[in-house]
Amino acid sequence: MCGIAGIWNFDGRQVQTDTIVRFTDSLKHRGPDGRGIWHSQNNAIAFGHRRLAIIDLSSAADQPLQFAEGRYTIVFNGEIFNFIEIRDELSAKGYKFKTDSDTEVILAAYHKWGQKMLKKFNGMWAICIYDSAEDYCFIARDRFGIKPFHYTITSNRFAFASELKAFRSLDDFIPEIDERAAAHFLKTGFGVEHSSFTLFKHVHKLKAGECGIVKQGKIELHTWWNTLDNLVAVPETLAEQAEQFRELFYDAVKLRMRSDVPVGSSLSGGFDSSAVVCALAECGRNAGLQRMSKEWQQTFVASFPGKSNDERPQAEQVVNYAGVKAHYFNVHEHEALEILEKVLYDFDDVYVGMPVAPWLIYRELRRNNVVVSLDGHGADELLGGYVHADGAWLSNAPSWFQHPKNNLNVVNELLAYTGKSKVENTITALRQTWPSQVLYHPDFKNYRKVLSAYKHSKDRYKPSYWQQFINTDLYELEFPEDYGNQIPEHLDEVNQKLYRMFHFDVLPTILRNFDRMSMAHGIEVRMPFMDWRLVCYAFSLSGNSKINNGYAKLVAREAMKNRMPESIRASRVKIGFNAPMPEWFSGPVYPWLMQQLEQPSALIDTKLLKTTVERINKQQSWDWTSTGNVWKYVHYLWYENNFLKSA
């Protein structure tokens, strides 16, 4: 794990040493364990690497690394978790290795299989390999875009780096906002990260599952991975599906315990991170895996005392159940305000939420000399964590006219966690289900589709309340990469929603967030739920195996029976790992918000937005919706007025 950078001057100009060093060291936080620099024979190409030593801690594994008598030179950010198995396969074919690193395995695999090596890898990566014999660079990003690869290319130069901020260190690079990408973010909150666009004009990124060749001043890219091409046969019963899910999940955890440094986990107290910690503890005690870290017992828990999203009590249950050591620390709004601008700088982009909590938790890992964290990211988007089981049932409820008693029982079972009365639950259900209730009559079988199409058509041309703050001229800017036509129609409704979340909007953004917040402290995050075998298996299951019986993530919950605290395994409540923004906006963060709203912007009507923020604060009516919408504008304002400055 590390930070990578590179420059290729197509016109033959030499890359000056101080230029590549400055470019590389702008990523020092990603790799605090050392710097490596390489120049091609004519000095027109230079690679830089900041190392976070995880596998093979010796200097022999330093990057840039060469192979085949110097024909191939690589810089690589990520981990190949199954590198031992691939190395054994290559050794049987006569390959010799000088290191115990996964980086050398990549080079040998490329020498043997070329691009086809990518489908053999189980891991996360951003790779650039220069082939001196053929004079080209091969670049590639992992299946789901866990690790970043940003680049800029002109007729004279190709340059790449792990983060946007690195490009500001190039002498002739002028950072400018790409207003199409910015406007699209402000309209959607997501929907940009999956694309090739960034907030910087002229800086693009490899998309998830994409690779390509850079040669003779040109770049040719293509998609090497499509999840739908790799679906598998699954058992028929939920019990059998859960058993197979558990086997894949536990193997994913075991592979991610391979490390020559201590391994820990960021624990929120929700189902996902709790499942990881409990599986980690079970696998750790059984041992028997090559290169498994002997230090895996530490967990880190951020607590928000007295706030609505504090999950410390749930985390304590997991800690006691798994028998691991916990580091608890409290997050207060005053400290959050003190570090806020440092966090925003490290964040490297913009988002709908305040990223303080993950920044702090990974700082705590580094302070305790734990530099690898097994976390639960990806499970929500893969298994329906954001699609409430009650909402999924209500949207397709049977007719109340034909099944009133049965529906009433289901509603009160589903909504029991709200603590409301049966009457209140029934009213809630009727409000959400009435459009579909005429379905009991065959003459109206297409009513829902017609109503849905009408609503979509009506809303498409009606800017939502929160979009009124975008400059009118820029609001209509067309964003050229829409994923709407890429949602596979043959999947059921639940899986279509999850496929979109996983591949196109929510998860790509979440992965970016946690990469930046963890790597700000030189922490490597590993995600068992993102194992490609588990992902393909999960998308081969029907939506009913994920959202059913009043639960989301049903197959995973069944898989973890008797392997984690039952109160967490069976909980329908989802809190989410976020700063308590509604409470903080009413407190000391508010003056900082107002300060940002004094900044100029070509994209945002700050005067109108400021008036709205003042009214909400006066009414003390901050909630998760209003804070999320206000924050994305405020975060963007800070970015526009602070982040564009040259390094």
pTM confidence score: 0.89
pLDDT category, 405, cuts 50, 70, 90? confident
Residue 442: pLDDT band with limits 50, 70, 90: very low
Residue 304: the pLDDT is 82
Give the separation between CA 63 and CA 629, rounded to whole angstroms.
42
DSSP states along 6-18: EEEETT-----HH
Average pLDDT over residues 451-464: 43
pLDDT band with cut points at 50, 70 and 90 for residue 443: very low
The H or E element spanning position 507 is: helix 506-519
Pick the range with the lowest mean pLDDT from 127-131, 170-174, 346-350, 453-457.
453-457
Angstrom distance (rounded) from CA 42 to CA 51? 25
pLDDT score for 458: 39
Q: Is 520 helix (H, G, I), strand (E, B) or coil?
A: coil
Residue 559, pLDDT > 60, answer yes
**171-175, 216-220, 342-346: which range is least confident on average?**
171-175
Beta strands 72-80; 65-67: pairing state: antiparallel
pLDDT score at 37: 98
Over residues 568-584, mean pLDDT: 80
Give 574: exposed, middle or buried? Use CB within 10 Å, 0-12, 13-18, 19+: middle
Q: What confidence score (pLDDT) does residue 478 get?
A: 74
Query: What is the average per-residue pLDDT within 579-599?
Result: 91
Q: Is 545 helix (H, G, I), strand (E, B) or coil?
A: helix
213 or 413, which is more confident: 213
The pLDDT tens digits of the residues spanning 35-74 come to: 999 999 999 999 999 999 999 999 999 999 999 999 999 9
SS3 216: coil
Cα(8)–Cα(23) distance, rounded to whole angstroms? 13
Which residues of the chain does CATH 3.40.50.620 include? 229-384+496-569
Q: With contact defined as beta carbons under 8 Å apart, do 53 and 187 qualify?
A: no
Contact 525, 514 (CB under 8 A): yes
Inform me whether the pLDDT recorded for 358 exceeds 90: yes
At 307-324, the pLDDT tens digits run 766 788 899 999 999 999
- 520-557 pLDDT, tens digit per residue, is 999 999 999 999 999 999 999 999 999 887 788 999 99
Assigned CATH topology for domain 2-225:
Glutamine Phosphoribosylpyrophosphate, subunit 1, domain 1 (3.60.20)
Is residue 129 within 8 A of residue 138, CB to CB? The reply is yes
The answer to whether 137 and 92 are in contact (CB under 8 A) is: no
| CATH 3.60.20.10 in the chain, residue ranges | 2-225
- Tell me how far CA of residue 31 lies from CA of 1, 161, 170, in angstroms: 7, 13, 19
Higher pLDDT residue, 45 or 411? Answer: 45
**435 or 185, which is more confident?**
185
Q: Are the C-beta atoms of residues 304 and 414 closer than 8 Å to each other? A: no
Check: CB of residue 296 under 8 Å from CB of residue 595: no
Lowest-confidence pick of 104-108, 219-223, 575-579, 584-588: 575-579
How would residue 571 be classed by pLDDT, with cut points 50, 70 and 90? Answer: confident
pLDDT at 449 over 60: no
Size of the chain in residues: 647
- C-alpha span between 1 and 55 (Å, rounded): 9
Given phi > 0 = left and psi -120 to 50 = alpha, else beta, which region is 550? left
Question: Does residue 137 carry a catalytic annotation?
Answer: no
pLDDT one-digit tens code per residue, 460-483: 334 468 888 888 777 667 777 767
Confidence check: pLDDT of 177 > 70: yes
Q: What is the mean pLDDT of the chain?
A: 89
Nearest to residue 25, comparing CAs of 185, 162, 177, 121? Answer: 162
Confidence of residue 445 (pLDDT cuts 50, 70, 90): very low
Across 447-457, average pLDDT: 44
pLDDT, tens digit, for every residue of 511-521? 999 999 999 99
CA distances from 146 to 469, 514, 524 (A): 32, 9, 11
**Segment 340-345 mean pLDDT:** 96
The residue-averaged pLDDT of 296-300 equals: 94
Lowest mean pLDDT among 54-63, 75-84, 437-446, 587-596: 437-446
Q: Which of 141-145, 225-229, 267-271, 426-430 has the lowest mean pLDDT?
A: 426-430
| pLDDT given at position 50 | 98
CB atoms inside a 10 Å sphere around CB 221 = 16
What confidence category does residue 389 fall into, taking pLDDT thresholds of 50, 70 and 90?
Answer: low
Using pLDDT thresholds of 50, 70 and 90, give the confidence band for residue 32: very high
- The catalytic residue among 2, 137, 211, 278 is 2
In this structure, which CATH number among 3.40.190.10, 3.40.50.620, 3.30.390.30, 3.20.20.30 belongs to the domain 229-384+496-569?
Answer: 3.40.50.620
At 450 the pLDDT is 44
Residue 148 has pLDDT above 90, yes or no: yes
Whether 428 has a pLDDT exceeding 50, the answer reads: yes
Q: Give the pLDDT band of residue 82 (cuts 50, 70, 90).
A: very high
Going by C-alpha positions, the residue among 268, 22, 67, 308 that lies closest to residue 166 is 22
CA distance 324 to 277: 8
pLDDT for the residue numbered 457: 38
Mean pLDDT of 228-252: 97
The mean per-residue pLDDT over the stretch 92-111 comes to: 97
Only one residue has tokens 């936080």, namely 29
